[in-house]
């Protein structure tokens, strides 16, 4: 059986800002400049300098708005992180990475297609062979996203993307 073309891991963390800073500064490849592929809000150019504190605050805004309404102390690990790495034999274009990120966001429920109040997210290309998707787990309408088996669904989306891509190349 051939090795998977894409390797996907999902985890949670406490600080959106610390995660974004780590992703942008701790690149595996010193010759690669990390870039912001896209966000939940269209129009952020990937070439511009990005202020990670501002991006983290924007991603976390639904959580900050939820706190006063509920009066509850939020649980820890509110930032969702999906890392996807391609095998050395697979070269993906920026458009491929973008399409894959949207597939994973849809499959996991972070940003289902057509849901205008879904979670806020940012897709970053942190190496030639890797993207990282960062999202908060509170939707823009203030509700918690329903994450059940999100890593399984992310892996299924990666497998489907690999199969569809292989079929289109033939």
Write out pLDDT tens, residues 30-81: 777 888 888 998 655 444 556 888 889 999 988 888 766 666 656 677 899 9
The predicted model scores a pTM of 0.88
Between CA 103 and CA 28 the distance in angstroms is: 25
CA-nearest of 25, 11, 9 to 135 is: 11
Q: Per-residue pLDDT tens for 73-117?
A: 566 778 999 999 998 878 899 999 999 999 999 999 999 998 999
């Amino acid at each position: 059986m051939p090795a998977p073309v894409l390797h996907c891991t999902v985890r949670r963390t406490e600080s959106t800002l610390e995660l974004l800073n780590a992703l942008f500064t701790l690149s595996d490849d010193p010759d690669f400049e990390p870039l912001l592929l896209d966000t939940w809000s269209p129009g952020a150019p990937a070439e511009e300098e990005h202020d990670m504190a501002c991006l983290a605050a924007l991603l976390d805004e639904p959580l900050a708005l939820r706190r006063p309404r509920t009066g509850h102390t939020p649980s820890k690990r509110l930032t969702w992180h999906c890392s996807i790495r391609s095998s050395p034999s697979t070269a993906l274009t920026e458009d491929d990475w973008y399409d894959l990120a949207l597939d994973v966001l849809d499959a996991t429920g972070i940003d289902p297609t057509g849901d205008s109040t879904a979670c806020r997210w940012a897709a970053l290309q942190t190496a030639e062979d890797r993207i990282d998707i960062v999202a908060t787990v509170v939707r823009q309408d203030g509700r918690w996203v329903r994450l059940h088996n999100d890593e399984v669904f992310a892996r299924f989306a990666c497998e489907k993307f690999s199969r569809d891509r292989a079929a289109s190349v033939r």
